[in-house]
Structures are given as structure tokens and as C-alpha cells.
């Protein structure tokens, strides 16, 4: 096993920390960063602007590798889901979702998630560890470069040009509970992709959003809403007890937006629980005054989520959308992509995890009707 430290995907803070005692001067760090991300160099020997002795030291102690990919699944709709193995053996999933000429890479920020949202398989399987910036960036590099598992014999896919890629931090984990690494990863990715083509999705960690307000540059922000009142939101998102809707909406009023970068509210529709037209009107009232759109996601069922977690009929979804539009809210419906390979929203998991399970089945309360 190669014990050398992997530097591919590291931003300046991680490069400085990991090469302390090897790279002394800050300008050498910037040269290394430039070689990795502006010039795309993958071998220390080719970084000819660095002194020969430094190149040898780097070669001896460090490597520049993509993460190992034990499995790559392909959906009939073109979606690809990669299982990536980290150095300590943990596994995360990353998804490449096609949309005509563009691709959206959905990346994970943690190997698991402690927030236990009721509609999410990652939350069901429980907490994992934070990913490093390099481990987050490595997912994008692996998907972009079209690598395939060594053992499956399929030829590598063609590399995807960065201009065609959007990034969403919407995979496994809550990005704002790993904010330092996520910020560093976004900085690295911003050398290839504009901030406006990157989106961070949060369950509503208010202090994390406050920290983002201090950043020089910010990605688009998506917020998981999923219910128009605290009572129901707490039932399916335990984090709402800590950061309820009042403080969450207050901090969102400070988040800079423009016509091209409105806030997105994600709203998972669960049959008979949060799918009535009255709920749609209440949602519109709640977010009034914000430059925001709503993305409706009929829940993607999964055996571990229980029988209550099923999507409404299509006409109920359309009626919900129509009620929002009538109330002046821009609203789209996310069609499931990659659901045949469990790559759709809320379906990511790492296959080797032990089940956390729920102590008691959670009742979602009486149907609200349409």
C-alpha cells in the first residue's frame, strides 16, 4: 500500500498543512497549486518551475491520485453513480446526472450523515466522518475524467469538459457541518467552474449560513424546507428543533441573491403529509419577500424508509405546483434520475455501513388532504 500523502484536490490551506517542513515559502505553495489546477499537471517531475530537490522531496512523501473506485453503476437514463473508497476504507457515493449537453455532479461532503432526515437513506444509515477538501474535489475529478473500476474491464469514458459541468453539494452529508473542508473544496473547484455554477445544499444549519456570509465568494444556496411549519418539519427533519423556521428564514434574508442566483427551497413531497394545496399556499406565504424558487421532489421511496414514505399521485404534485405558481412562486418539479441504481435524491448510501435504525416507527400524523 502506498503510504504517501495524497495532495490531489487539496487547496492552499491543506497544501500548507500537509507539506509543512517540506515547502517553506508561500510562493512555492502557490506554484504547486497553480501546477495542479491551472495546468492540470499530475506528476511532480513535470512541475519544472519547482527546484529539482523539492520535486524529489515531494515525490518521496506525496502522491497525486484520484480516489479508488470499486464500483460504477450506469442508469438507463445516462446517470452514473460512483462508489469511491477513501484512504481509511470508508466509502462515499458521487453521482453524475446528465441534462442534455450539461452534466451535474452531485458530491458528498461526509461519509454518512448524523441529521437523520426521515426521507433520506443516508440519514437512515447514520453518521460518518467529515471528508477532507481533497476527498470532496477527488469525487469531481473521478467523475469528470471518466475512470472506471480497474476490475470491471469497461473502457474509460471520455473526459467531460469543465464548461459543461455544474456542481451540487447535495450528496451524502450536511456540507455546513464540515464547512472548512467544503469551503476549501469549493475554492479549488472554482479554478475550473464559476461560483454561479456551484450549489451548496443545506438542511438549514443557521450558523453555517452565517459563516458563508463572510466568504468573499459564495455558491448558490439551496435549503431543504420540506414542510411549511415547525411541527411537521421537526417530524421529518430533527435539525428543525435546533434551527427552526424563524431563525432560518431570518438568516436567509441576508443571503445575497441576484436574478441568476436565487435561493432554492427543496421540498420533498410525501403522500398525505405535506402535499396539499393549502401547504403550497402556506409555503408561498412563508418565503414571501425572498428571491427564491421552489424545487419539488416527489419522494424516492426506499425499503428502509418505511411504507409511509411514498410520493403523491402525479396530479397532486401538479396541483401543488400550480398553487405555488398562482401565489407568485417560481417552481419546478425534479424528475427522478438514476432511481434504478439508487442514485436519485435521498437514495445515496455506502453499502458497508451498519444500520442505525429507528428506535420506534415515526408517525407522520393525519393526512392533510389536497
CA distance 232 to 273: 8
Of 113, 136, 137, 324, the residue at the interface with ligand SF4 (CB under 6 A) is 113
Marked catalytic residue, from 91, 93, 174, 187: 93
- Contact window for ligand SF4 (CB under 6 A) among 3-11, 109-117, 134-142, 179-187: 109-117
Interaction of residue 275 with ligand SF4, rule CB under 6 A:
no
Shorter beta-carbon distance to ligand SF4: residue 36 or 86: 86
Interaction of residue 115 with ligand SF4, rule CB under 6 A:
yes
- CB of residue 244 vs ligand SF4: minimum separation in angstroms? 16
Contact 56, 23 (CB under 8 A): no
Interaction of residue 292 with ligand SF4, rule CB under 6 A:
no
| Phi, psi (rounded to 5 degrees) for 322 | -60, -40
Interaction of residue 95 with ligand SF4, rule CB under 6 A:
no
93: helix, strand or coil: strand
With vertex at residue 298, the alpha carbon angle to CA 74 and CA 321, rounded to the nearest 5 degrees, is 130
Segment 20-39, which members bind ligand SF4 (CB under 6 A)?
none
Query: Which ranges of 190-311 would DSSP assign to H, the alpha helix?
Result: 206-212, 230-236, 245-252, 277-286
Segment 183-222, which members bind ligand SF4 (CB under 6 A)?
203
Interaction of residue 172 with ligand SF4, rule CB under 6 A:
yes
Is residue 345 annotated as part of the catalytic site, yes or no?
yes
- CB of residue 185 vs ligand SF4: minimum separation in angstroms? 17
Query: Where are the strands (E) in the chain, listed by range?
Result: 5-6, 62-63, 68-74, 80-85, 91-99, 102-107, 165-169, 198-202, 220-224, 263-269, 292-298, 330-333
Is residue 93 annotated as part of the catalytic site, yes or no?
yes
Contact 210, 251 (CB under 8 A): yes
Interaction of residue 174 with ligand SF4, rule CB under 6 A:
yes
Of 120, 133, 181, 269, the residue at the interface with ligand SF4 (CB under 6 A) is 120
Q: Which residue is nearest to ligand SF4 (CB)?
A: 123
- Facing residues of 166 across strands? 104
- Contact window for ligand SF4 (CB under 6 A) among 10-18, 47-55, 168-176, 178-186: 168-176
Shorter beta-carbon distance to ligand SF4: residue 178 or 283: 178
Interaction of residue 117 with ligand SF4, rule CB under 6 A:
yes
206: helix, strand or coil: helix
Residue 257 gets which letter from DSSP?
A: -
Of 93, 148, 95, nearest in space to 350 by CA? 93
| Residues labelled catalytic | 93, 345
**Interface residues toward ligand SF4, by CB under 6 A:** 113, 115-117, 120, 122-123, 172-174, 203
Amino acid at each position: 500500500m502506498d503510504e504517501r500523502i495524497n495532495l490531489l484536490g487539496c487547496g492552499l490551506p491543506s497544501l500548507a498543512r500537509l507539506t509543512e517542513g517540506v515547502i517553506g515559502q508561500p510562493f512555492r505553495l502557490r506554484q504547486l497549486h497553480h501546477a495542479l489546477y491551472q495546468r492540470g499537471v499530475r506528476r511532480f517531475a513535470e512541475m519544472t518551475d519547482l527546484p529539482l530537490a523539492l520535486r524529489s522531496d515531494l515525490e518521496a512523501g506525496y502522491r497525486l491520485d484520484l480516489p479508488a473506485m470499486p464500483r460504477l453503476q450506469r442508469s438507463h437514463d445516462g446517470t452514473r453513480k460512483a462508489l469511491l473508497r477513501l484512504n481509511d476504507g470508508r466509502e462515499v457515493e458521487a453521482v453524475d446526472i446528465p441534462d442534455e449537453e450539461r452534466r451535474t455532479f452531485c458530491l458528498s461532503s461526509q461519509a454518512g450523515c448524523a441529521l437523520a432526515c426521515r426521507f433520506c437513506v443516508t440519514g437512515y444509515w447514520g453518521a460518518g466522518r467529515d471528508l477532507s477538501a481533497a476527498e470532496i474535489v477527488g469525487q469531481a475529478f473521478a467523475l469528470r475524467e471518466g475512470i472506471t473500476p480497474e476490475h470491471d474491464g469497461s473502457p474509460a469514458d471520455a473526459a467531460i469538459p469543465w464548461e459543461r459541468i455544474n456542481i451540487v453539494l447535495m450528496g451524502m452529508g450536511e456540507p455546513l457541518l464540515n464547512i472548512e473542508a467544503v469551503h476549501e473544496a469549493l475554492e479549488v473547484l472554482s479554478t475550473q467552474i464559476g461560483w454561479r455554477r456551484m450549489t451548496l445544499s443545506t438542511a438549514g444549519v443557521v450558523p453555517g449560513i452565517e459563516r458563508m456570509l463572510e466568504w468573499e465568494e459564495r455558491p448558490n444556496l439551496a435549503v431543504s424546507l420540506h414542510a411549511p411549519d415547525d411541527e411537521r418539519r421537526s417530524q421529518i427533519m430533527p435539525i428543525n428543533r435546533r434551527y427552526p423556521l424563524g431563525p432560518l428564514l431570518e438568516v436567509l434574508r441576508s443571503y445575497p441573491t441576484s436574478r441568476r442566483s436565487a435561493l432554492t427551497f427543496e421540498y420533498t413531497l410525501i403522500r398525505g403529509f405535506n402535499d396539499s394545496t393549502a401547504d403550497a399556499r402556506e409555503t408561498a406565504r412563508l418565503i414571501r419577500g425572498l428571491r427564491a424558487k421552489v424545487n419539488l421532489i416527489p419522494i424516492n421511496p426506499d425499503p428502509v424508509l418505511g411504507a409511509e414514505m411514498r410520493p403523491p399521485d402525479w396530479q397532486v404534485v401538479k396541483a401543488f405546483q400550480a398553487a405555488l405558481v398562482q401565489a407568485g412562486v417560481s417552481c419546478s418539479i425534479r424528475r427522478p434520475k438514476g432511481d434504478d441504481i439508487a442514485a436519485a435524491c435521498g437514495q445515496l448510501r455506502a453499502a458497508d455501513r451498519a444500520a442505525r435504525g429507528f428506535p420506534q416507527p415515526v408517525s407522520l400524523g393525519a393526512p392533510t388532504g389536497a
